[in-house]
Chain A
Amino acid sequence: MTDGRAGDLPERGDDGSLLQKPVDRRVALGMLLGGAVVGAQALSACSPLNGETPEEREVRVLAWQEYIKGNYRFMTEEERAETIARLEELATLKRREDVTIQSTGAQPGVVFGYAFNISKCQGFRSCVEACINENNLDRRAETQYIRIFEMTEGEVNFDLGDATFQHEVPAEGHFYLGTQCFQCANPPCTRVCPVGATWQEPDGIVVIDYDWCIGCRYCMAACPYWARRFNWSAPEVPAEEVNSNQHYLGNRARKKGVVEKCTFCIHRSRQGRLPACVEACPTGARVFGNLLDPDSEIRWVLEHKHVFRLKEDLKTEPRFWYFTD
């Protein structure tokens, strides 16, 4: 070959192309090494390895452990306790929030049912406000799980329903119908999730493991009631408005790129309390309870009132009935 002096090498390759220009081996090696040294310095100058507080290190370690964990559905009790401890710690370190995340399981002998009185609903949207506050919904994107539709008297027709009304309610000639996740007994959303990040719990609540969700949004396409919401950007909740009573499968802090939805306030209902929407409704239009309890109000409504559900023909078996006075 050549003796290594750059001047001896032709300026172009055999076929005239620049890329074929021969480069002396030693020169090339020197340039590579020099580039590597410069690059390493640049990297170390702006990398977090260059001075990290113990807090930042803790956050990094916890975040890594959270990243490699498995699907909550298949975790043991121990693993669940561990992940919850990590999440509570991360909330304190990253957002200075003191939260309690429950992992309360379903009570045996309980299946939740919900009834909505379309004669009583006046369109106040008190339920919407309560839900936003209770579930730490994104204030920037104004996420709302509950939608109240102002419908014209005479038919349940969503083509003509309007959820954007903002006038004195109730309006003459209209009735009000609210939707949210119906926690279907035969949910199409859980079947389509490719990673099994959403499933139905024994008490009927369809839940999502936000850390397992990959954000493909197939479940959103599959839901016939438009119940699911996606975090298109990182959700923001003002620190003073955060509800610190949280559940792993419910209203804990979500991240961008994952799906969320109404969980019948799982952090409340599994403690025997009513969901926020039921409590907040001033007219008593919402009824909630245990379908397996023959003495519950929800059972009374189903047995004594004329009830209907939306899109019955799809066989999703929603656990959310509508009735009139």
Chain B
Amino acid sequence: MKRTWVGVAAASLVIPGLTAGCRQGQPERSEQFPAGTVAVAIDSATAARNAAREPGALATVVADTAVGWSGQRPFEVASRTGGPEAGHSRLFGTITLPIVLRTRSPALTQYPCTSCHAGSRVTMAARRMPDVHHDIQPVHPDTSGAVCATCHAPEDASLLVLLEGKRAPMDQSYRLCAQCHFVQANAWAGGGHGKRLDGWQGRRVVMACTDCHDPHHPAAQSRIPFRAPVIERIRSETP
């Protein structure tokens, strides 16, 4: 127990310091860690590295303990199937273990959005010009007619748009993605989609959707694989 608190204290001191270098002269991110945020120590460099998808990532990640996992549903979405729940919101899973959701915002280099976006206006200092994201060409949800406002709230750029006029913070991107990708979201909640960051025992530390899927271009990137196996046995030097 003691170590967790020390970790929390250390993390809350260390993280802003380390990430300060990434943002040059941005306004203080006082709202970056919502209430209920805890620091979770991941004792595996591989997991942390993979999770952050950046080289040299922190071994300690900041995570958001999703509230109400025991007995309560993490999210709701309209069902498309004509089952008994048709017409009602289909509830997901009965996850009884506490799940710890790793926050996304520390990895977003230009967070918080309000540092430039104030409602529908953009006000930015000249030094922030390199941060302008002209390069984002959303092909998702579809290539025709997808605009920023499809997903980003016009009144507060750091919030995501949900159905029925609701809003969700960037750290809870699953609530937006699950509206259409409810099958994957169901699997994600159950454990068949995505990865755990810690071990197989005890609480689950998981990531939200955008840690792996670029929301503007979610299709998987191809790559050259690690070397193929040598099928014929590599023989010793002697005859």
Residues of chain A having any CB pair with chain B under 8 Å: 115, 117, 122-126, 128-130, 140-142, 144, 147-148, 163-170, 232-233, 268-269, 271-274, 276, 278-284, 287-290, 295-298, 300-301, 304-305, 323, 325
Contacts and interface: CB of A to CB of B under 8 A. Distances in A.
Given A129-B226, A287-B192, A298-B191, 12 more contacts: A122-B220, A141-B233, A141-B234, A142-B230, A268-B199, A273-B44, A273-B200, A274-B44, A284-B212, A296-B200, A297-B204, A300-B190
B234 A142 contact: yes
A164 B231 contact: yes
B192 A301 contact: yes
24 contacts: A115-B192, A123-B225, A124-B225, A124-B226, A140-B234, A148-B225, A164-B228, A165-B225, A166-B227, A167-B224, A168-B222, A169-B223, A170-B220, A170-B222, A232-B233, A271-B199, A272-B199, A279-B195, A280-B46, A296-B200, A301-B190, A301-B191, A305-B192, A325-B193
B210 interface: no
A284 B46 CA distance: 14
B66 interface: no
Given A279-B44, A284-B194, A325 B187 contact: yes
A163 B228 contact: yes
Nearest to B227: A166
Contacts of A170: 220, 222
Interface of B is mostly: loop
Contact of A122 (B46, B47, B200, B222): B222
Interface centre among B225, B230, B234, by most A CB within 10 Å? B225
B168 interface: no
Contacts of A271: 199
Contacts of A144: 229
B225 A117 contact: no
A5 to B, nearest CB: 52
B96 interface: yes
A90 to B, nearest CB: 24
Closest 9 CB pairs of A and B: A297-B191, A300-B190, A125-B226, A272-B201, A272-B199, A284-B195, A273-B199, A125-B225, A166-B228
B202 interface: yes
Given A168-B222, A304-B187, A284 B199 contact: no
Interface centre among B93, B190, B227, B230, by most A CB within 10 Å? B190
Nearest to B194: A284
Nearest to A126: B226
A166 B231 CA distance: 13
Nearest to B47: A279
A274 B230 CA distance: 27
A130 B226 CA distance: 10
Contact of B190 (A125, A274, A288, A304): A304
Given A122-B222, A165-B225, A233 B236 contact: yes
Interface in B117-147: none
Interface string B204-232: 10000000100000001011111111110
B90 interface: no
A285 B226 CA distance: 16
Contacts of B230: 142
A304 B234 contact: no
Nearest to B223: A124
A290 B46 contact: no
Count class of interface residues, chain B = 35 or more
A280 B228 contact: no
B105 interface: no
B97 interface: yes
Contacts of B225: 123-125, 148, 165-166, 169
Nearest to B221: A122
Contact of A280 (B50, B97, B201): B50
Contacts of B194: 284
A139 B96 CA distance: 44
A296 to B, nearest CB: 7
A247 B97 CA distance: 30
Nearest to B48: A279
B167 interface: no
Nearest to A234: B236
A271 B204 CA distance: 15
Nearest to A288: B200
B196 interface: yes
B228 A297 contact: no
Given A233-B236, A300-B192, A276 B46 contact: yes
A122 B222 CA distance: 8
A279 B50 contact: yes
Given A282-B50, A295-B97, A325-B187, A147 B229 contact: yes
